[in-house]
Amino acid sequence: MSEEAITVAEERPAPDGGGGVPTPPLRPGGYDPADYAASVVRSAEEAGVSALLLMSVLHNEAYKPHHPLLERLWQWWKPGASFGLGNMHRATFERVRRAHGLDARWEDLRDDPALAIRAAALHLGDLDRGLPGRHTRRCTRDELLALGYNAGERNMRAFARGVPPGPMARSYLRRLRANRSRAAEALTGAGTTRDTASRA
C-alpha cells in the first residue's frame, strides 16, 4: 500500500465498525479503548462482569493497532494471530461462539469492534463461572479473571490456588493494575459510573 493511500485512509472519518461503534483508526497510536465505553458497558452488563474489568482488559490488549487492514496484514504474517479489540484467538472465540450461540466467525472480530468487545465480555463471564469462590488473596477476583483471559482458564485456576504467576502473567497483571485508573476514567468520561468497583 502506498503512503498516499494510507494518508487518504487516515483523513476519512472512521466508518461504523458494526454495532454502532467506530472502526479503530489506521494511524498507530490513534486507538483509545475509551472510545468504546458505551459498548463496554452494554457488553459487560450482558455478560455479568464488571465494566471496569472489561475496559481494563481492553487497555491491556491495546498494544497493537486494531484497524481491520492492519489486522489482515498481521494475520498474513502470523496466521495464528489474535483478532479484534480484545485480541482473541480462534480457539477461544469458537468456545465463546458455541457457548453463546453467536452468529459470527472469528474473522469478523477484525471488522466488528462491537462483536469483539461482546466476545471478550462473554469470555470473561465464562471464566467467572469457572473460578472457585475461594481463592488466594494475592489477586482480586477480577485480576484472576484478567489473568485467565490472558493465560487461559487452567492457569487462572492454578493462580487462584496460590501458584505464583510466571513472568508474562506478572507483567500482564502489572499493566492491568496500572490501566485500572485509565479504565475508570474512560467509563466515567462516558457518563457511566455504575459497576466500576473491582471484585475481591
CATH number at residue 124: 1.10.530
90 in a structural domain: yes
Would residue 195 count as lying in a domain?
A: no
Q: Which segments of 131-166 does DSSP mark as H helices, in order?
A: 141-151, 153-161
- Other CB atoms closer than 10 Å to residue 12's CB: what's the count? 8
Q: Which segment, 22-26, 127-131, 135-139, is predicted with the most confidence on average? A: 127-131
* Comparison of pLDDT for 143 and 199, the residue scoring more: 143
- Domain membership flag for residue 40: yes
Q: What percent of the chain has pLDDT over 90?
A: 60
pLDDT-derived band at 18 (thresholds 50, 70, 90) equals low
Residue 30 lies in a domain: yes
Burial zone of 92 (CB within 10 Å; 0-12 exposed, 13-18 middle, 19+ buried): buried
Window from 105-109, 139-143, 176-180 with minimum mean pLDDT: 105-109
In-domain check, residue 86: yes
Within a domain: residue 59?
yes
Q: Is the pLDDT of residue 24 over 80?
A: no
Local confidence band at 200 (pLDDT 50, 70, 90 cut-offs): low
Which residue type occupies 153? E
- Name beta bridge partners: 177: none
What's the distance, CA 126 to chain centroid? 14
Residue owning grid cell 452468529: 103
How many structural domains is the chain composed of? 1
Looking at the predicted structure, is the pLDDT value of residue 27 above 70?
A: no
Residue 11 DSSP symbol: H
- What is the average pLDDT score of the chain? 84
- Residue 153 CA, distance from chain mean position: 16
Can you give the residue range of the structural domain that contains 126?
Answer: 14-132+181-189
Confidence of residue 97 (pLDDT cuts 50, 70, 90): very high
Q: What is the pLDDT of residues 167-198, one digit of tens each?
A: 999 999 999 999 999 999 999 966 554 444 45
First CA to last CA across the chain, in angstroms?
48
The region of weakest confidence among 74-78, 118-122, 124-128, 177-181 is 74-78
Asked whether residue 79 is assigned to any structural domain, the reply reads yes
